[in-house]
Amino acid sequence: MNFLATGIDLGSHPAAMLLIGGLLAAVLKGRAASIVMVVAPLLGFYVVVGLETGSFSTLSLFGFEIKSVVVDKQAKLFGYLFHVAALVAGIYSFHIRDRWQVSMALLYAASAVGVAFAGDMLSLFLWWEALALTSVFQIWGRRTKEAEESGFRYLFFHVSSGLLLLAGIIIRYHGEGETAFSLDPLTQDLEAGDLGALLILLAVGIKAAFPGLHVWLKDGYAEATPTGPVWLCAFTTKCAVCMLARLFPGAEVLIIIGGVMAMFPIFYAVIENDLRRVLCYSKINQIGFMVVGIGIGTDLAIDGAIAHAFTHVIYKGLLFMSMGAVLFRTGEIRGSHLGGLYKSMPWTTCFCIVGAASISAFPLFSGFVSKSIIITEAAKNGHTFIWLCLLFASAGVFHHAGIKIPFFAFFAHDSGLRPKEAPVNMLIAMGISSFLCIFLGCNYQWLYSMLPNGAAGYSPYDATHVITQFEILLFSALAFTLLNLWGKYPKELPSVNLDVDWLYRKAGRTFLSSGSVFWNGLNERVHTLFIGKLVGKVTEFTKAGHVYFLDSISGPLHQMGLLGKDSKTKAKSNLHKRTSLGVHRVGLTALLGILFLVGLLILAF
């Protein structure tokens, strides 16, 4: 291997241009910051092109030598992808004049590049946390109460992911020493029941939107700015896919998880009214395909998962851009309130259709050349049930993303809205993504050649793949058409659909309510005991403590003859009265003084 750099050398890191761009954008104003948002990814792409496979970089931090950069084919591919995504998103967001959004967007992209090139667990953890802290500003930038609350929920999940990752690293370090910092596959350790490996899988699973851990995605993306989801959909989940492919190839549990991910979002997406939420569920569905490919674990399946991550960033970003343009121009994103926009937004409509064709895996579009690899490998390796699930999921994604999104946004009923066409910068960005969707679909060898294993000579355009995919698409389109004609397709109605986050929130409220009853009740009882009773008794005692004390020892004193010859009752009464007035006999006072001094000596020694 060749040294890329030793020590802290900012300019040598593949994320350097994006980092510098993010810092510059924080101090520049207006159009200058927007120009940096476009120039920085171009320069960064040039840096990645010049990286030599096998090179690495190190630095010293907290007494450890960290491999901050390791360059291999997978890292370079994700490096290319993240810079292209940042460039397209930067063009799309060129009109923004919010320095926080611009700066944090570039730093977010830099963090994703850092994850892709991370050489060990320590550098991975640093970039992993940076992903969370920089991405949330794409949600908060909308500056609504809903976005603020959603951003905090989003941050909770992703900071939790970082803590789980750190816990997994520490547990493995205590068991294995510094070898635990390696990014070697953990599949065997996971299947052997290693707790550290399990925690690391959960950490990655949160960012990959595993079932039950996915609500941050549909919650955060839907409340983000019009441009926010274009950035968000490109980096966080793809960093998770990158790490799953690196750390857990062939983990059979991922086949089950991926199958569930591919299936369950379909049902939510069909009834969802918010079209950006529909795309969020569709995104989880597509990540499920990638997770299945990684779980299968063959060289071709891993290549298929990585290829699908590459194409997914392009076409899903295109769909989010088209919906962002609609939201930007109309202020509305609910399917029940849209329709007929093709009349005034024809270019956006056409670009949306290209994205819809790509996500539906139409032949000659990018989704087909990547998704078919995973489906083929599932069948070839004996995962028949998962193969059937993926076929169903393929039909479902065409149903809810390939048809529903463009149909209800631009066609369906005429909403009467006649907004302007999307701004020029948005159209340029959508045009670039549309070109890439078609280019990758027609020139799949270009993508395959960059995959870690070169796709093992796989060819998507044979009769079996093409005919099977057309059958899936045609029958799905037929089902959509007939359901609409018969009035059975779920109508786009203003509504809120409950997801598993309802359980989180219910459980959280129940916990807070029960905690409030318990702790507040305990506090009240303790207050009554200590403040109402004990403190009162102590106060009362301090006012006349000496009287009570002498009353308690009046019997022994009387027997000793120190209280005179009066009866015991009268002597006690006289002692009580004199003590209250502070008047004692000289002998008794001397005795008490001696007792006091003896007590002090005992305490001192």
pLDDT tens sequence across 153-169: 999 999 999 999 999 99
**pLDDT higher for 300 or 522?**
300
3-state secondary structure of 158: helix
**Burial call 139-170: b when 16+ CB within 10 Å, e when fewer:** bbbbeeeebeebbebbbebbebbbebbbbbbe
* pLDDT range class, residue 10, cuts 50, 70, 90: very low
Residue 489 pLDDT > 80: no
Residue 538 pLDDT > 90: no
Q: What is the structure's pLDDT at 366?
A: 94
DSSP string spanning 314-359? Answer: HHHHHHHHHHHHHHHHHS--BGGG---GGGT-HHHHHHHHHHHHHH
Share of the chain above pLDDT 70, in %: 89
Q: What is the structure's pLDDT at 541?
A: 63
* pLDDT range class, residue 2, cuts 50, 70, 90: low
- Segment 282-306 mean pLDDT: 95
Rounded to whole angstroms, the Cα distance separating 520 from 516 reads: 5
**pLDDT higher for 337 or 11?**
337
Q: Which of 103-107, 346-350, 528-532 has the lowest mean pLDDT?
A: 528-532
- Segment 416-424 mean pLDDT: 91
- Delimit the domains of the chain by residue range: 249-499, 504-604
Chain centroid to Cα 473, Å, comes to: 32
Residue 81 pLDDT > 80: yes
Residue 99 pLDDT > 70: yes
Q: What is the structure's pLDDT at 7?
A: 41
* pLDDT range class, residue 8, cuts 50, 70, 90: very low
Contact call for residues 211 and 260 (beta carbons, < 8 A): yes
Residue 584 pLDDT > 90: no
Q: What is the structure's pLDDT at 230?
A: 95
pLDDT tens digits for 28-55? 988 899 999 999 999 999 999 999 988 8
Closest CA to 16 of 45, 55, 59: 45
pLDDT tens digits for 291-301? 999 999 999 99
- Please count the residues of the chain: 605
Rounded to whole angstroms, the Cα distance separating 425 from 427 reads: 5
Residue 549 pLDDT > 70: no
Q: What is the structure's pLDDT at 1?
A: 46
- Segment 358-362 mean pLDDT: 93
What is the Cα Rg of the chain in Å?
A: 34
pLDDT tens digits for 203-238? 999 999 999 999 999 989 999 999 999 999 999 999
- Segment 517-529 mean pLDDT: 81
* pLDDT range class, residue 550, cuts 50, 70, 90: low
Residue 116 pLDDT > 80: yes
Helices 73-92 and 31-49 sit at what angle, rounded to 10 degrees? Answer: 160
Question: Across-strand partners of 3?
Answer: 56
Average pLDDT of the chain? 87
Helices 99-117 and 31-49 sit at what angle, rounded to 10 degrees? Answer: 10
Kindly report the backbone phi and psi dihedral angles of residue 210, in degrees, each rounded to the nearest multiple of 5, phi listed first. -55, 155
Strand order across the beta sheet in which 64-70 lies: 3-6, 56-61, 64-70
- Segment 123-139 mean pLDDT: 94
**pLDDT higher for 333 or 413?**
333
Question: Across-strand partners of 60?
Answer: 65
Q: How many CA atoms lie within 13 A of 70 on its CB side?
A: 17
Q: What is the structure's pLDDT at 497?
A: 74
Residue 5 pLDDT > 70: no
Rounded to whole angstroms, the Cα distance separating 438 from 466 reads: 16
